[in-house]
Amino acid sequence: MASVTQLNPGRGRAAARAPVAGAGGVAAPLASNDALVLEGVTRAFGALRAVDEVSLTVAAGQKYAILGSNGAGKTTLFNAITGDFPPTEGRIRFFGEDITELPPHERIRKGLRRTYQSSLLFRELTVRDNLFLAVRGVASGRFSFWRARAGSASVSATQELLERARLTHIADELVANLAHGQQRQLEIGMALAGAPRLILFDEPAAGLSPAERRELVALLRSLPAHMSFVIIEHDLDIALAVVEKVTVMHNGRVLKTGTPEQIQNDAQVQAIYMGSHH
Ligand SMILES: Nc1ncnc2c1ncn2[C@@H]1O[C@H](COP(=O)(O)OP(=O)(O)O)[C@@H](O)[C@H]1O
Ligand SMILES: [Mg+2]
């Protein structure tokens, strides 16, 4: 009944080769229509409760935004979800499974990905080679997490990522020569390796020109319907263009959760959040 993959992660090539996304007969336990459920998630650093009893639910396939000014706790919330800085209180469920205690690489194996505020690209390699490394599992996030398909399958998976990230025209360019927006696109492309079920994007639009923002929005809107993502975004217009649900954080806590329209028209949000940006 219980699969070898669950009991013995990392043992044996056959198990390691199983797709992360749940295809291929590896049934996820307690399958759920909710991709991500946070219940009272708290992350303290000494006396500081950087994330303070945050509860929210991201449905499977849902596109979700976290808004909030600098220091609100958005990145710390991502760190709690990925396990980089696990919660000090509260529970995290991923497709019905409690992952609160899992190490980061186990969460990655289950189909959770993230991008970082600071770039983790290989600047002296080409766009294509960066994506190839992600496909091979050596460059997704900070962890080597699975041995991907060998040879030509990796090459075609790399090509698929190039297209999905809208980077085919600069496939053989060195990353060091890319514009800022193209690097953001590449980071998203790398996060897409291995058919993730949910991706956390940490401020992908930061520092982008208006044209680059439009390209980013187009990329985010082109992601598969079944894939969930949570995007940290300062620019409400971008959030409005790509998400169905928004949580606004303030001082580590949830200030408000609602549709983009509800958030945009909320007086408290306007006073606290937009007030600091416009
Ligand atoms: N590793 C850490 N150690 C101590 N304090 C931290 C750490 N990471 C974040 N913080 C603090 O937590 C608060 C929230 O930070 P952060 O989550 O980065 O905010 P945001 O991403 O919303 O700008 C800040 O006061 C920050 O200084
Ligand atoms: Mg941050």
Distance CA 177, CA 183 (A): 9
The count of residues in the chain is 278
- List the chain domain ranges: 34-111+197-278, 119-196
| Protein residues with CB under 6 Å of any ligand 1 atom | 45, 48, 50, 68, 70-76
Alpha helices in the chain (DSSP H): 4-7, 13-17, 74-82, 104-109, 127-135, 151-164, 180-191, 210-221, 236-242, 260-264, 267-272
pLDDT attached to residue 150: 54
CATH architecture of 34-111+197-278: 3-Layer(aba) Sandwich (3.40)
Q: Do the Cβ atoms of 178 and 127 come closer than 8 Å?
A: yes
**Residue whose CA is at the smallest distance from ligand 1 atom 24:** 71
The alpha carbon of residue 1 and the mean position of all alpha carbons in its chain are separated, in whole angstroms, by 31
Radius of gyration of the chain (CA): 18
Asked whether residue 19 carries a pLDDT value surpassing 90, the answer given is no
Q: What is the pLDDT of residue 273?
A: 66
Is the pLDDT assigned to residue 278 strictly greater than 50? no
Looking up tokens 């294509």, which residue turns up? 128
Pocket residue to mutate for ligand 1, from 41, 43, 48, most atoms within 8 A of Cβ: 48
C-alpha–C-alpha distance, residues 205 and 214, integer Å: 10
Ligand nearest to the CA of residue 54, numbered in listed order: 1
CA–CA separation, 9 and 11 (whole Å) = 6
Residue of 41, 42, 43, 45 to mutate, ligand 1, most atoms within 8 A of C-beta: 45
For residue 54, what are the β-bridge partners?
41
Mean pLDDT computed over 172-197: 94
Kindly identify the ligand whose nearest atom is closest to the C-alpha of 77: 1
Shortest-distance atom of ligand 1 to CA 68: 22
Q: What are the tens digits of pLDDT across the range 70-102?
A: 999 999 999 999 999 999 999 999 999 999 999
